[in-house]
Structure 1
Amino acid sequence: MTANVPEGVALVVLGPSGLALAETLKPLLPGSEIHGLEGRVAAEVTFFDVTAHMRDLFQQFRPIVGVCAAGILIRALSGVLDDKRGESAVVAVASDGSAVVPLLGGHHGANHLAQAIAEATGGVAAITTAGDVALGLALDDPPPGWRLPNPEAAKPITQALLAGDPVRLSLEAGDADWITGSGAVFADAATMAIRVTDQAVAEPSDDLILHPPVLVLGVGCERGTDADELIGLAEQTLQDAGLASGAIACVASLDLKADEAAVHALAVHLSVPARFFTAAALEAEAPRLANPSDIVFAEVGCHGVAEGAALAVAGKDGALIVDKKLSRRATCALARAPGPMDPETIAMTGQARGRLSIVGIG
């Protein structure tokens, strides 16, 4: 399915004719549930009042796919519409899948959701947002892993591009194929600009700031290190280097730290995944370390945890840009990949935290 499809979609079905389509879509949409009208649709979640249920879902910022007429969704939600920046994705789908219409939250996942559903059903996604139609580009809905610290700047920049006014594209970190490969035309000199950067930018800025996921934060810590210490070290390191936390693609460490609460707390704090590597994998990075340590090697089997882990994710063409920094019980380092890292690629790098399931048979 299309990337950027939101998770936790509520597939709302009002009659038996739409249930088959909802059941087809459910396994294709991560975390989705079928919501059916009580007495008419047998579903995992049922409701009595269509308007009240739709509004509850919308105000919880749940993506909604209504297998029903678009007018039903419009009338149900008209009384709770306020600021488009706070709108969740709302999509109407014909019961036969022939027409898919993103009604609200086009740049909060609705356009991607509509395209993914149309792809699955063979239908047509009726995308109407100006940037997508004219430019093939939605600046306020970048690929997974990208961050916008000032999304309000996307609208005037998009309007300028649509009007043919000069806009400069500044690629300061990695690349931005989703922008350069669109229909947008950029100027070498302009007062308005899009900056693709991993640098921290003082707000407010008239430029649209896009942080690509090009940085890897490698960390190490003693057993039982307090999460606040590790988070504080990471934040201070970023601040000292003038780097943006929004450009961090993941947190990385030695697999012996896979159960360390502080490492996972840091990943949650940064809203990125945590990946873990064997000592052998980190030792392969030894020739590139700025601070190899025989003491660390004697303890865990590699000459550096923080630097080695950062480089392991950044790849052979990545570079260490901030060498090991220390607090009382923790270390961290930063590496930069040559280009933006896709979350799916990161998911296949190293290993994630394990999960134990206990199954009873009596």
Structure 2
Amino acid sequence: MEPHPVSERPIRALPKAHLHLHFTGSMRHSTLVELAARHGVHLPDALVEEWPPQLHATDERGWFRFQRLYDIARSVLRTPEDMRRLLHETAEDEAAEGSGWLEIQVDPSGYAARFGGLTPTVELVLDAAREASAATGVGIGVVIAANRTRHPLDAKTLARLAVRYTDQGVVGFGLSNDERRGRAYDFEGAFRIARRGGLLATPHGGELLGPQSVRECLEMLRADRIGHGVRAVEDRRLLDEIAERQVTLEVCPTSNVGLGVAATPRDVPVRTLFDAGARIALGADDPLLFGSRLARQYELARSHHGFSDAELAELARQSVHASAAPEHIRKRLLEGIDEWLRLPAADARESREAPAACR
């Protein structure tokens, strides 16, 4: 297939929704270094001089190293002010990337011991999200995520907690961490609780394991979106089913390369998924560990997969449609996407400093 001509429309001016971003992983590198110094946390070279770290997590040793670096980064968040700062800066960065709606994923279990328990942690995150949204104009929803490496009963506890806060900003229920250490069907009960409570089901699947992991998320957890899901390309019948059921795949190109799921950005099957009719929401996953944010994922679709401006706009639309954004935010973003396409490239380039999603 011949690539489409590359246009000059700036991707940061394209309004979009960001649906795959982890809480600690959204932190600015400069903030990590500053908070580590303030709280006396020693950072390994991989998070300082050698940042972003070289990762390859398709084997257990590699995943352990990735998780260890993530846990060290999380340990610098010691006070409520640190948590509020993280979300405020993340929202600022989202606005600069052209994102008008963010769904940030957090496992409160990782912070509960420091902030007084699961419920106070969730309330702190939600309060910080409201403050960050008011300050930046970026809408923020929270996805409560269970950890695959913990007992399914813990996931049920989190699901019940998430449902209690659906009217205060919790929009989804996820499942993260190493797919090889917790099968999706073990968590069906937790997702049943979340769905009955009106939450989107957004488990990870099809990253470190193949299409069967995606199928379990689809059939056992009745996923609305699947985090990553790129291994679905290995099973054409499954891919057709994903397209038919309009399940969105949260594809994170830089992350896939960083963790060794794909050898190069060109090997991430964005084009194959798109041409098969699968809905895609591009995401940055953990910018703190992979070194790039949302706009870079669209740039990779353009430069490595030949996406035209019309196709990039369609990716942005799909991210909005797959989100839990309120109707007035959806309307604003979708109108902004149409406006981005109507503008000649030169005019769009001039609007680089004021993305349509944030005006």
Give the TM bin, normalised by the shorter chain: under 0.3
The two structures have a TM-score, normalised by structure 2, of 0.28
Q: Which has the larger radius of gyration?
A: 1
Higher relative contact order (CA 8 A, sep 6+): 2
The two structures have a TM-score, normalised by structure 1, of 0.28
